[in-house]
Amino acid sequence: MSHSIASTIPLIDLSKLDGSTNERAEFLKELRVAARDIGFFYLINHGIDSTLLSQVQSISRQFFALPQPEKDRVAMVNSKHFRGYNRAASELTRGQPDWREQFDLGAERLPIVQHENSPAWSRLQGPNQWPETLPELKPLLLNWQKAMTAMSLKILRAFAESLSLPLDAFDPLYGDKPNEHIKLIRYPGRGADESNQGVGAHKDSGFLSFLLQDRQKGLQVEVEDGRWVDALPIEGSFVVNIGELLELATNGYLRATVHRVIAPPVKSERLSLAFFLGARLDAIVPVFQLPAELAAQANGPESDPKNPLLRDVGWNYLKGRLRSHPDVAERFYADILVS
């Protein structure tokens, strides 16, 4: 069983990028093919310290084990930057509640001073909320965020090289302020007669997404229309997927793939740690000129008519957040909501 799954979602070894000339060429080809055909792959030998990863998993479990009032003190509804804690069923995907509790954080930056003509997306930048009763959470997660950003930017440059673009082709899109977003996610067990939507079918909006799974399965990838495969946990790996920004930037040569999470059975739970690398909020995504033989295979980006893709990164990101978190939208963005 696992063989057929693994042959659907490829396994890629990042250490080959720094290997011999042949190994590097092999890695770049595997990366391009995986991102084009499936839009998902497992990444091993990624260079992120395994001790750090287990510490981050452990502190995340400690956070979710805090008393409910402690978690509610850092509720996302307090943050116009969409940072903080959400109880299960408070985030919506395609209008239906997701059965997961989660804690969101982004790059720790000062808020952008607001003027009369400031675009609404400029409110997204700002500090995170941190639980006072778990002080070690902040340094650990910011340390992990830094390590993940460095590793993901290395992969983004490898993507540029694999597409025969200049190595730094994507650099101006993130500059010194990439949109680094972390989600700690706990999926509680659900009974057979309850909704099993851990998170509904969706695409990710940024460049690249990295998921550290525990041992409980649940992530599913739509490899073809209506055909879903399990992305079973593989110890020490990240599941990596392409976001809509890369699909847009390559005119659909690279593929952002629809995926979902099925909630675990009753009396069990699933812990997932997600890191998303996005572009700077003020960037506009261009279409890069690929070599003729690759450009000929580009399908054009697949935009969902109910959720059109925008080239303006800040607006595209804000649109997704407003839809997913109506309570934050009403509190801090009522001025731009269409009634």
The DSSP H or E segment spanning 102 is strand 101-106
- Weakest mean pLDDT among 86-95, 230-239, 269-278: 86-95
Nearest to 41 by CA among 179, 187, 234, 182: 234
pLDDT of residue 320: 87
pLDDT of residue 309: 66
210 and 124 Cβ atoms separated by less than 8 Å: no
Residue 260 is encoded by which pair of tokens? 């979902």
Work out the pLDDT band at 3, boundaries 50, 70, 90: very low
pLDDT of residue 6: 40
Task: Dump pLDDT digits (tens) for 126-179.
Answer: 999 999 999 999 999 999 999 999 999 999 999 999 999 999 999 999 888 889
Average pLDDT over every residue of 107-132: 95
pLDDT of residue 93: 84
- The distance from CA 220 to its chain's CA centroid, rounded to whole angstroms, is 15
pLDDT of 81 above 50: yes
Q: How many alpha carbons lie under 13 Å from residue 200 in its C-beta half-sphere?
A: 12
Domains of the chain: 2-332 (2.60.120.330)
d(CA 329, CA 76): 11
pLDDT of residue 90: 87
| Phi-psi region at 136: left, alpha or beta (left = phi > 0; alpha = psi -120 to 50) | alpha
187 and 274 Cβ atoms separated by less than 8 Å: no
State the Cα torsion 94-314-224-97 to the nearest 10°: -20
pLDDT of residue 111: 96
CA angle in degrees (0–180, nearest 5) for 263-96-307: 115
Amino acid (one-letter) located at 101: E
Q: What are phi and psi of 278, to 5 degrees?
A: -120, 180
d(CA 210, CA 115): 35
Q: How many CB atoms neighbour CB 106 within 10 A?
A: 21
pLDDT of residue 238: 98
Task: Dump pLDDT digits (tens) for 272-302.
Answer: 999 999 999 999 999 999 999 999 999 887 7
Q: Whole-number mean pLDDT of the chain? A: 92
Work out the pLDDT band at 308, boundaries 50, 70, 90: low
161 and 167 Cβ atoms separated by less than 8 Å: yes
Work out the pLDDT band at 5, boundaries 50, 70, 90: very low
Please, which residues have CB within 8 angstroms of residue 252's CB and are 6 or more apart in sequence?
Answer: 298, 299, 300, 301, 302
Report which of residues 11 and 91 the model is more confident about: 11
